[in-house]
């Protein structure tokens, strides 16, 4: 009996040595598998592969863009699932964020949102648009680097103006120095304020996209709210929102000038470039 057990153990050891466990594919290999599946029209397979990448900490604009293409492909196929276009919009928006000025991603995002609007119109629901608040619209006109550069330019101009005004005895030079000083102080104040505002928004809010056909706005206890006159009671698929807080299974969002809570699974937070 002991000899039989020993023989079984030896056979098992030989089998394990002859057939080593297959290592998990790397992120690059998974990306390649997802891209290959996308190219042959296996959208569900492509989505499964590409969706596994963020969970493994792999974030890249090409992966986000291809994920968006996969969701669009499935949305237009017989295997379409609710929310596919919203997830496509999230993927393209993420690609545009990760690679600033990506014209292809921005165009694809516009196409997807136009398709969502057409589908809403065909179903008898008018698409709801929300404009960002004035403060967010102003500080997001340009990047933090631009506002930092403006503040730095103002600081240099201020220093130059002080030097001209303080150490020159000529009237024309002192006048130029005072003008330069005033302009520099103005540029420094504006640039610093906009930089502080943009930095605050980046630290306290996360861009996200609604990935369900209709996300009902809730209160902090998860109960549907009664909208005021002229306000929507739900956020449409593909809409851009900003998550400012997470509590339990809810996410507090800012949508245009409106605030409320959504079920966390109804929005997809976007990966951004870390600073």
pLDDT tens digits along 156-176: 999 998 898 888 878 888 888
C-alpha closest to that of 49 among 71, 33, 65: 33
Contact 71, 85 (CB under 8 A): yes
Q: Is the pLDDT of residue 91 over 90?
A: yes
- Per-residue pLDDT at 15 exceeds 60: no
Query: 151 with 107, same domain?
Result: no
Lowest mean pLDDT among 58-72, 148-162, 215-229: 215-229
* Same-domain check for residues 41 and 104: yes
Mean pLDDT of 33-47: 94
Give 18-68 as a DSSP string. Answer: HSPPPPPPPHHHHHHHHHHHHHTT-HHHHHHHHHHHHHTT---HHHHHHHH
- In 10 A of CB 37, how many CB atoms? 20
Q: Which residue among 204, 233, 257 closes a domain?
A: 204
Examine residue 100 and state whether it is found in any structural domain, yes or no.
yes
- 3-7, 80-84, 183-187, 266-270: lowest mean pLDDT where? 3-7
* Interval 237-257 mean pLDDT: 91
Determine contact, residues 253/267, Cβ cutoff 8 Å: yes
111: left (phi over 0), alpha (psi -120 to 50) or beta: alpha
Q: Is pLDDT above 80 for 275? A: no
Mean per-residue pLDDT for 226-249?
84
- Count Cβ atoms within 10 A of the Cβ of residue 264 and give its class: 0-12 exposed, 13-18 middle, 19 or more buried: middle
Side-chain-facing half-sphere of 28: CA atoms under 13 Å:
0
Position 42 scores a pLDDT of 94
The average confidence (pLDDT) of the chain is 85
Q: Does 35 share its domain with 106?
A: yes
Q: What is the pLDDT of residue 3?
A: 42
How many Å apart are CA 114 and CA 119, to the nearest integer?
9
Q: CA–CA separation, 120 vs 113, rounded Å?
A: 11
Domain residues for the domain of 152 are 137-204
Domain boundary among 181, 204, 227: 204
Arithmetic mean of pLDDT, 187-195: 94
Domain co-membership, 148 together with 217: no
């Amino acid at each position: 009996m002991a000899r039989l057990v020993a023989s079984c153990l030896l056979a098992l050891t030989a089998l394990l040595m002859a057939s080593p466990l297959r290592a998990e594919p790397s992120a690059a290999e998974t990306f390649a598998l997802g891209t290959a599946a996308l190219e042959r029209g296996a959208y569900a397979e492509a989505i499964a592969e590409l969706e596994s990448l963020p969970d493994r900490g792999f974030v890249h604009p090409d992966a986000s863009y291809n994920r968006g293409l996969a969701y669009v492909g499935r949305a237009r196929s017989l295997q379409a699932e609710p929310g596919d276009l919203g997830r496509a919009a999230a993927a393209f928006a993420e690609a545009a964020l990760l690679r600033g000025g990506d014209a292809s991603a921005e165009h694809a995002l516009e196409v997807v949102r136009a398709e969502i609007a057409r589908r809403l119109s065909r179903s008898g629901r008018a698409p709801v648009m929300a404009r960002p608040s004035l403060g967010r619209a102003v500080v997001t006109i340009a990047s933090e680097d631009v506002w930092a550069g403006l503040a730095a330019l103002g600081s240099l101009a201020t220093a130059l103006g002080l030097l001209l005004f303080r150490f020159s005895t000529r009237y024309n030079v002192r006048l130029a120095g005072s003008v330069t000083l005033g302009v520099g102080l103005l540029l420094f104040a504006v640039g610093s304020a906009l930089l502080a505002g943009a930095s605050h928004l980046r630290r306290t809010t996360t861009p996200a996209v609604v990935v369900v056909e209709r996300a009902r706005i809730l209160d902090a206890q998860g109960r549907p709210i009664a909208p005021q006159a002229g306000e929507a009671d739900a956020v449409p698929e593909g809409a851009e929102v900003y998550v400012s807080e997470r509590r339990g299974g809810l996410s507090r969002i800012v949508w245009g000038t409106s605030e409320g809570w959504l079920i966390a699974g109804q929005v997809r937070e976007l990966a951004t470039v870390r600073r």
